Structure 1
Amino acid sequence: MTPDDFITPDPAQAKLGQLLFYDRILSGNRNIACSTCHHPDLGTADGLSLGIGEGGEGIGPERTAGTGDDRIRKRIPRNAPGLWNLGAKDLHVMFHDGRLSVADTYENGFNSPAEEWLPEGLENLLAAQAIFPLVAQFEMAGNPKENEVAGAVHNRMDYAWPILTDRVRHIPEYADAFAAAYDHIDGPSDITIADIANALSAFMIFEWTSIDSPFDAHLRGEKDALTPVQKAGMDLFYGDAGCVACHSGPLMSDQGFHAIGLPPFGPGRTRRFDPMVRDVGRMGESDALEDAYAFRTPMLRNVELTGPYGHNGAYPTLEGIVRHHLSPQEALDAWEPRLAALPDVPWLESIDFMVWQDSREMARQRATVTLAPQALSDAEVDAIVAFLGALTGASARTGLFGIPETVPSGLPVDHAMDP
């Protein structure tokens, strides 16, 4: 990949987006920012299998579930993905179930949960994605009756975005920054949620476009960019191991959906009429039976930084998720709950592994697995893992803007984690 494969962000807009990304002003209760679950010290993820969203305290594996009336009511149903290379021009679908995609379904350029109520003026797919965590109850919005944002979402999600926009408009530093960064903005009243989303996307593209890994150097023809073990792993990845069947193309993803039988746990992203705790994956968006328990193929650059792995973070190591691909049914039998990185939440423990008690549901999930078993030696698995490590960019651990010391709202910032 080259810079031409990505949207080119404006630096001033990206700088503005940096402040918004780390500012808790965009959450209903002003207690969580985008950075809380997508922190650069954790590979732009959170280091947890299932995150602790609105109501939690701290960041990363040390994040707790809160106390008293403010404690969380539900774990985030799916793993927080890394934010690498989301400005790729060829990227056309987002979220683990693909519920956001480039399409003209609603004559606004996107098929999204907001349907025809999606705001106008969103510049790209990543900008469209950025506004949905803001109005997700357990991610950033909060619970009904706690704040005006959550209350508005309870009626219709697009009612909440103007409330968040109004908060930003009334902070002079933001108003001035928007006017300086966007030609169509002359004053606070001109700022829209689309402008906020566009700034957020500009920052994420500017900060986390990553094409300087040893693998990228190898593709550019640089001699000895890969070690012999990494080269052997690459040959397996694109050869006998068959990884390229799904992790294909420059993005290392077919952007398709596949059922690979990952061990289920957590609340699941259930549909309203589901009578049980489960996650049906892509079928929840498409309502097509052939999509049952299928999840989007993730892109792989910087993958060694973004564990745990899988749509629900079922495996803490790359070796674990690689071995699952080799024999999904056996891996499912051997998986143990201790492998899940789940912060202690006593009042939700009864839900965490409830799905395993439903033999019919587990049988349904097993029946949809599309990966055929294959045998690789321990040395070959090690080589594939080494190759995946060669996908880490040289600048991936540093970023360009980094973490701001303060944000215009004056609210606390998720600073660097202790070593």
Structure 2
Amino acid sequence: MFRAALLILLATPCLAAELPPPLEQDDFAKHSESEITLGQLLFYDPILSGNREVSCATCHHPRFATGDGLALGVGDGGKGLGPKRVADPDNPPEARIPRNAPPLFNLSHRGVTVLFHDGRIEVDESRPSGIRTPLDADMEQGFASLLSAQTMFPVLSPDEMAGHYQENEIAKLVRQGRLTGPGGAWDAIASRVAAIPEYKARFTTAYPAIADGKPIGFTDISNAIAAFMAHEWQATDSPFDRYLRGEAALSEAQSDGLRLFYGDAGCATCHAGPLLSDMGFHAMGAPQIGPGKAAAFEDHQRDTGRMRVTGRTEDAYAFRTPMLRNVTRTGPWGHAGAHADLRAFLRDHAEPRAGLARYEDLPPLPQMDGIVDDRWALDSDERAAIADAAPEGRALTEPELDALLAFLDALTDPASISGRLGVPDSVPSGLPVAR
């Protein structure tokens, strides 16, 4: 019965885009139990951070749908978890993390070809590693996947995990530009992990090459973390997924929203395919709040998005199309988390220029002293530049917003949010686990 209803909807003339095929298990990476459970411990272990205080889970926690519930997070130099995280008065951060923590759902699907808001890591078969990153020729070999390679950046970021320049040996190596190879920052992190007997035993079980005598490297750590994320946060059982498989019907409101999403609202132009993302980059007028994204030698507070990667002016203020499973739970929304309310985000996103013009109220941000004004881009000519790069769009009515929100709620897979293994009771380093 449900399959027949789906076929009728597929034939409805008001749909401007075809519905995607269901997500298939064969399109997700597979991993052994020993690799997954090792990755779980590493994901929650602060041993990977310079000051041994921040883990991957600090900014990507299941309590907050694999984010941190903040518009712009606080990594090194923070205390607490999620929206309650604040600056540590005894060792305050030097800056906010410049972009919103992205969710971790379905990142091991073979359709994921770019990661980070600006796509600075992407699949590139012309490279020896098969992956293009800002490190180019200095890229370490041995990352098993794009998802694995992603982990190499947060551990090197002073504001995220590494700490600031003279605080610890990892931060000092980053400051010196010694990242790869023997004695580099990644090697120093791997040495910390390898010195813990339980980790040594678990790596020996998970990876035959290590059992045969290969030293534990940072790529082994990142591969294990990627295996855990791939298993823990696979989201394939939302009402929409069951609907596509012909197993269940959507409610009337959800069906109305689906017709809008794939029809007159034009959402599926970019949110296409099984993952509801074209993996492309689009300038959609999302407000910039916070410090922007600049290299150490640059003196500005702009975040030009994809242009920072390609150097092309036509990519200015373009950001990756996010995937949408569990989207109603993953706020704040936008590359800078500028919207704390999803309805308001949809309203502004539908007509980007008008939405940016009326945007005023920043979401709550942890108090930090001595940092760039969080409103800088809104109170300068930058707001106009962001708007000029965006399309006009069209306004959504209140009933249309109701319908779209109902459809987006049908993308929620509760089991994937809580995760399959959950938060471990303890980690081999003995350091505190974020709860």
Q: Following the alignment from structure 2 to structure 1, what is the Cα–Cα distance between the partners of residues 81 and 304?
A: 29
Provide the residue aligned with 1:291 in structure 2: 315
Provide the residue aligned with 1:185 in structure 2: 210
Unaligned runs of 5+ in 1: none
Q: Following the alignment from structure 2 to structure 1, what is the Cα–Cα distance between the partners of residues 77 and 400?
A: 44
Tell me, yes or no, if structure 1 residue 211 matches structure 2 residue 244: no
Alpha-carbon contact 2:45-2:431 (below 8 Å) kept: yes
Provide the residue aligned with 2:152 in structure 1: 131
Most deviating of 15-24 and 107-116: 107-116
Provide the residue aligned with 1:407 in structure 2: 427
Most deviating of 235-244 and 275-284: 275-284
2:51 corresponds, among 29, 50, 55, to 29
Q: Which amino acid in 2 is paired with 1:334?
A: R
Q: Following the alignment from structure 2 to structure 1, what is the Cα–Cα distance between the partners of residues 339 and 296?
A: 28
Provide the residue aligned with 1:376 in structure 2: 396
Most deviating of 261-270 and 289-298: 261-270
Alpha-carbon contact 1:48-1:308 (below 8 Å) kept: yes
Q: Shift in Å at residue 302 of structure 1?
A: 0.8
1:19 corresponds, among 37, 41, 48, to 41
Q: Following the alignment from structure 1 to structure 2, what is the Cα–Cα distance between the partners of residues 123 and 292?
A: 31
2:247 partner SS: coil
Alpha-carbon contact 1:270-1:280 (below 8 Å) kept: no
Tell me, yes or no, if structure 1 residue 201 matches structure 2 residue 229: no
C-alpha change, 1:106 and 1:196, in structure 2 (3 Å) is same
Provide the residue aligned with 2:134 in structure 1: 113
Q: Which amino acid in 1 is paired with 2:274?
A: P
Q: Which amino acid in 2 is paired with 1:180?
A: T
Q: Which amino acid in 2 is paired with 1:201?
A: A
Q: Following the alignment from structure 1 to structure 2, what is the Cα–Cα distance between the partners of residues 193 and 268?
A: 29
1:341 corresponds, among 352, 364, 368, to 364
Provide the residue aligned with 1:248 in structure 2: 272
Q: Shift in Å at residue 390 of structure 1?
A: 0.5
1:351-370 → structure 2 map (5 Å cutoff):
351-359=373-381, 361-370=382-391
C-alpha change, 1:346 and 1:154, in structure 2 (3 Å) is closer
1:342 partner SS: coil
Q: Following the alignment from structure 1 to structure 2, what is the Cα–Cα distance between the partners of residues 393 and 285?
A: 33
Q: Could you list the per-position Cα deviations for residues 384-404 of structure 1 after superposition, in whole angstroms to 9, with x for gaps in the alignment?
A: 011101101141233111000
Q: Shift in Å at residue 355 of structure 1?
A: 2.3
Provide the residue aligned with 2:18 in structure 1: none
Alpha-carbon contact 1:247-1:297 (below 8 Å) kept: yes
Tell me, yes or no, if structure 1 residue 5 matches structure 2 residue 27: yes
Q: Which amino acid in 2 is paired with 1:185?
A: I
Q: Following the alignment from structure 2 to structure 1, what is the Cα–Cα distance between the partners of residues 212 and 120?
A: 34
Q: Could you list the per-position Cα deviations for residues 92-118 of structure 1 after superposition, in whole angstroms to 9, with x for gaps in the alignment?
A: 110000100111454321111222222
Q: Could you list the per-position Cα deviations for residues 281-313 of structure 1 after superposition, in whole angstroms to 9, with x for gaps in the alignment?
A: 100111000000110000000111110000000
Q: Could you list the per-position Cα deviations for residues 176-206 of structure 1 after superposition, in whole angstroms to 9, with x for gaps in the alignment?
A: 0000111111278621111100000000001
Provide the residue aligned with 2:187 in structure 1: 162
Q: Following the alignment from structure 1 to structure 2, what is the Cα–Cα distance between the partners of residues 223 and 149?
A: 51
Alpha-carbon contact 2:271-2:277 (below 8 Å) kept: yes
Q: Following the alignment from structure 2 to structure 1, what is the Cα–Cα distance between the partners of residues 325 and 73?
A: 22
Q: Following the alignment from structure 2 to structure 1, what is the Cα–Cα distance between the partners of residues 135 and 273?
A: 30
Q: Shift in Å at residue 333 of structure 1?
A: 2.1
Q: Following the alignment from structure 1 to structure 2, what is the Cα–Cα distance between the partners of residues 341 and 256?
A: 30
Q: Which amino acid in 1 is paired with 2:53?
A: N
C-alpha change, 1:208 and 1:221, in structure 2 (3 Å) is same
Q: Could you list the per-position Cα deviations for residues 80-134 of structure 1 after superposition, in whole angstroms to 9, with x for gaps in the alignment?
A: 0110000001211100001001114543211112222222111100000012111
Aligned length: 409
Provide the residue aligned with 2:3 in structure 1: none
Provide the residue aligned with 1:327 in structure 2: 351
Alpha-carbon contact 1:169-1:188 (below 8 Å) kept: no
1:101 partner SS: strand
Tell me, yes or no, if structure 1 residue 235 matches structure 2 residue 235: no
Q: Following the alignment from structure 2 to structure 1, what is the Cα–Cα distance between the partners of residues 216 and 315?
A: 39
- Using the size of structure 2 for normalisation, the TM-score is 0.91
Most deviating of 135-144 and 317-326: 317-326
Q: Following the alignment from structure 2 to structure 1, what is the Cα–Cα distance between the partners of residues 248 and 169?
A: 58
Runs of 4+ in 1 over 4 A off after TM superposition: none
Q: Which amino acid in 1 is paired with 2:193?
A: V
Tell me, yes or no, if structure 1 residue 269 matches structure 2 residue 269: no
Q: Following the alignment from structure 2 to structure 1, what is the Cα–Cα distance between the partners of residues 39 and 279?
A: 26
Alpha-carbon contact 1:98-1:296 (below 8 Å) kept: yes
1:79 corresponds, among 72, 75, 100, to 100
Provide the residue aligned with 1:144 in structure 2: 165
Q: Shift in Å at residue 165 of structure 1?
A: 0.1
RMSD: 1.4
Alpha-carbon contact 1:119-1:193 (below 8 Å) kept: no
Alpha-carbon contact 1:207-1:400 (below 8 Å) kept: yes
Q: Which amino acid in 2 is paired with 1:365?
A: I
1:390 corresponds, among 395, 410, 420, to 410
Alpha-carbon contact 1:322-1:381 (below 8 Å) kept: yes
Q: Could you list the per-position Cα deviations for residues 39-82 of structure 1 after superposition, in whole angstroms to 9, with x for gaps in the alignment?
A: 001000000000001110011000001113x1100000000011
Provide the residue aligned with 1:153 in structure 2: 174
Q: Shift in Å at residue 412 of structure 1?
A: 0.3
Q: Following the alignment from structure 2 to structure 1, what is the Cα–Cα distance between the partners of residues 169 and 418?
A: 37
Q: Following the alignment from structure 1 to structure 2, what is the Cα–Cα distance between the partners of residues 402 and 92?
A: 27
2:112 partner SS: coil
Give % identity. 46
2:330 corresponds, among 306, 313, 317, to 306
1:352 partner SS: coil
